[in-house]
Chains A and B, each alone.
Chain A
Amino acid sequence: MIEVEALTKRYGSTTAVDGLTFTARPGTVTGFLGPNGAGKSTTMRMVVGLERPTSGSATVAGQRYADLPAPLHAVGVMLDTRSVHPGRTAYKHLLAMAQTHGIGKARVREVIAQTGLEPAAHRRAGTFSLGMGQRLGIAGALLGDPATLILDEPVNGLDPDGVLWIRRLVRDLAAEGRTVLLSSHLMHELALCADRVVIIGRGRLLADATVQEIVARSERAGTVRVRTTEPEALARELLAAGAQVAPQDGGALQVRGVSVDDVGTAAGRCGATVLELGSESGSLEEAYLQLTGDAVEYRAAGTQGGAR
């Protein structure tokens, strides 16, 4: 269980995290989502005690991280692939981690096998690809068999095999009753493995809901798309029936407030030939872009209008 309450971090005049409150519960995968620079990593660093909050609190299993008697057994942490000395082999890195908590070599070999690192175990971490580095980070997080896992962008740099592996791993870990907090800037990635999604932008909470709830918030969700030979006539007919109509390219209309059946019937009434008709479900990606649209800190100048 991770509880973050009114967490705030300021560096001089910039506010990296601004009054953030959310809870990651046992048995669920909580996705932590936001554009680059939104404050995800800063929040995670505060949760594990590397940085001190300006105000607010973050606790793991009801305790401040710094007060945990055995952090490695309580929380598995993977913050950044650059948390390993590049001159040390994967095995020695994990062994030194294990030794701080009196964990034996057998367990080190176990997590190496579990993360598929055997062929690279005795290579220096500096020679690793991004994907191998991620596996090493995850091996370190699993080492203490913790009830809570905090993984910062674990999918970054993994090949398709690795991505599937991670999804299954976090699902399995949550199914065992563990708390998993998983950050990403890729919405669709979290849609596939997270139960709940906490979305932040510019350090503030934008949404904290289940994946389905967030999809439902998409502007497109619940609308009907229809393409016809007589868009104007159909639009008049639909407006008369109390629908909201937005004309789109190629004679298509986006209709809100009526069902697919209603649109089909209306087309029949005004004699418009329907070329295409269907309800739209919206996507997580869209909902995410709408939520974070105003909160993106870095954006290419040219895409400013087009991205909306």
Chain B
Amino acid sequence: MSATSTTLGTARAAAATRPGPTFARLMTAEWTKLTSLRSPWWVAGVTVAVAALITYLSAQASSGDPGFQPLDSLPSGLILAQVGPLVLGVLAGAGEFRTGAFRTTFTLAPRRWPVLAAQALSLTAFALATAVLATAACVVGLMPAVASRDITVDLTAGDTPGVLLGMVLLLVGLALFGFAVGVLLRRTVPAMLTALFLVLILPIVLMMASEPMVGGADTASLSSPDQVEQVGVLGTLVVASPGGAAQLMTTPASFGPMPGSPDLGPVGGGLVFGAWILVLLVAAAVRLRTRDVR
């Protein structure tokens, strides 16, 4: 080990300036960390494959209808594929804590929150690429049904560009949502269950609870149009919940509001979902900054 002292000596001389962890460096490092694991690649691949498959099956199933509108089936692939980015985010967020790798991470950057920002940005880049591919996969999945019916589809007309953009942003948003929950809870399984509950189960529960029948309304009043139009508390909660708001992002603006819910539109839904992500990220950053990491 006579080489030890000489190599260390040279390295020490070379690193005379010795700059620390800038944000750009943390970004590079976090990108290396994210892409050097196998799970993100697997999750991304499965997400794209599932998006194509479910869209294909859904379009095939409805292609028999006389009024078949292929583009209506476009977001259907995401019903299952949206779980992918959510899982990706939770794994990226909680993985460091689950494995103990956070000790290395936070001794290298003791201010901690820039690491969180760098991780969120790296994940956004990775999720964006996945989302674009998954959305393209949905379009491809549609094609056999379109071809079989001899219909032409125009992706640039009407609501379609908005829906496509909404699909991409939804998937990216879900990755960030999962990430925030993962960093906040620091354990993979509880974070995964919480994220799935908030995004997939809670809106359904609220929607079922907001059904007038469940609310005990008499059947006569159901038929009156103004009753249906009325915006209820539970209906508002549906679109204010992270999952409910997120789903609005892929609902064309021309569809109008869900019965009993305020009309947020795709943009409004996206903003509500974005606000949820921001709140959770800030909470995660505060916890990271003020609490010990063991």
User: Which residues of chain A are near B1, meaning CB under 8 Å?
Assistant: 165, 168-169, 172
- The interface residues of chain B, by DSSP majority, are classed as helix
Q: Check A32 for interface membership: any CB of B closer than 8 A.
A: no
Output the least CB separation between B92 and chain A (Å).
Answer: 11
- B1, B15, B104: residue with the most chain A Cβ atoms closer than 10 Å: B104
Q: Mark A218-254, 1 if CB is under 8 A from B, else 0.
A: 0000000000000000000000000000000000000
Among listed A23-31, A62-70, A262-270, A296-304, interface-contacting one:
A62-70
Q: Which of A78-86, A187-195, A209-217, A287-295 lies at the binding interface? A: A78-86
Contact, CB under 8 Å: B100 / A97 = no
Q: B1-25: contact bitstring with A at CB < 8 Å (1 yes, 0 no)? A: 1011101110110010011111001
Are A71 and B103 interface neighbours, CB within 8 A?
Answer: no
User: Size class of B's contact patch?
Assistant: 35 or more
Instruction: Decide: A101 and B104 in contact? CB cutoff 8 A.
Output: no
* Contact B25 A83, beta carbon cutoff 8 Å: no
Query: Are A85 and B107 in touch, CB under 8 angstroms?
Result: no
Report the minimum CB–CB distance from B294 to chain A (whole Å): 7
Task: Given A70-B20, A70-B21, A96-B36, verify A110-B110 contact (CB < 8 Å).
Answer: no
Q: Does B149 contact A (CB under 8 A)?
A: no
Q: Is the CB of A100 within 8 A of B109?
A: yes
B99 contacts which chain A residues (CB < 8 A)? Answer: 82, 84-87
A203 CB to closest chain B CB, in angstroms? 16
With A50-B292, A176-B5 given, is the CB distance from A68 to B110 under 8 Å?
A: yes
Given A80-B103, A88-B36, A100-B26, 14 extra CB contacts under 8 A: A50-B293, A50-B294, A68-B110, A71-B110, A73-B18, A84-B100, A85-B96, A88-B33, A95-B36, A97-B29, A101-B18, A114-B3, A165-B1, A169-B4
- A selection of 22 A-B contacts at a CB cut-off of 8 Å is A50-B106, A50-B107, A50-B293, A50-B294, A68-B110, A70-B18, A71-B20, A72-B20, A72-B21, A82-B103, A83-B100, A83-B104, A88-B33, A96-B32, A96-B33, A99-B25, A114-B7, A144-B15, A145-B11, A145-B15, A165-B1, A168-B1
Give A residues with C-beta under 8 Å from B.
45, 48-52, 65-66, 68-73, 75, 77, 79-80, 82-89, 92-93, 95-97, 99-103, 107, 110, 114, 140, 142, 144-145, 165, 168-169, 172-173, 175-176
